[in-house]
Amino acid sequence: MNNGLRILKRRRAVDLALARQFLDVPVANVSDCMARMTAGGPRLQPYHSGGRMAGPALTVKTRPGDNLMIHKALQLAKPGDIIVVDGGGDLTNALVGEIMVGDAVNQGLGGFVMNGAVRDAGAIRAGSFPVFAAGITHRGPYKDGPGEINVPIAIDGMVIEPGDLVIGDEDGLLCVPFDDVERLLDAARKKQDAETVMVAGIKDGSYDRSWVDATLARLNCYIEP
């Protein structure tokens, strides 16, 4: 088997109905519940008109600037899937554009994540289909390979296994490991509820800031009298 040119089967994937429950939870709340240790990196930005993304990952690892295996991933993807591509972060050639995004929309997929560049940015921005990418270029891709599908990939230290949950919003994107999805959904909802109470407290003046001075005291911070 050629390790640089292979297509594997996805052995498991987060349930789509469960994944879509994360559409009601800010990515920041999930991130807080993951100890703020994981992120897809600040270069990956949303290029669509807005809206949250959540779905199982179909992973692609490709040579920078080549989208042969992304085209194959579009053939294999199921409705709701997020095609997550490690293109090495290279911005020389775009990996997807308006045509491939349109194909994904027509198939009912959940989004694109490109550790690389996109093009046809105006058309992407005009639509609500989630597209996260590292940048933009007008230069098109090659279609020669090599590349791999349904292999573990990593983006700025964030590891994505095939079938993991991938979520995204205006703050960026995040991978939630398959085995942690249900636990983190519950934790993130509780975090969201707590923040709702905090926001209400700020508005009505009841917000308790005593923790600030308590923390400074614990740290032996000098405060000039």
41-56 per-position pLDDT tens digit:
888 999 999 999 999 9
The secondary element (H helix, E strand) that includes residue 187 is helix 181-204
Residue 87, annotated as binding a ligand:
no
One-letter amino acid for residue 155 of the chain: I
103-112 per-position pLDDT tens digit:
999 999 999 9
Asked whether the bond before 146 is cis by omega within 30 degrees of 0, the reply is yes
Residue 97, annotated as binding a ligand:
yes
In order of their start, the domains of the chain are 6-178 (3.50.30.40), 187-219 (no CATH)
Residue 119, annotated as binding a ligand:
yes
Residue 88, annotated as binding a ligand:
no
pLDDT band at 32 (very low <50, low <70, confident <90, very high): very high
Residue 98, annotated as binding a ligand:
yes
Please check the confidence at residue 1 and state whether its pLDDT lies above 70: no
Distance (Å, whole) CA 219 – CA 179: 37
Residue 34, annotated as binding a ligand:
no
With a CB cutoff of 8 Å and minimum separation 6, the contacts of 36 are none
The reported pTM is 0.93
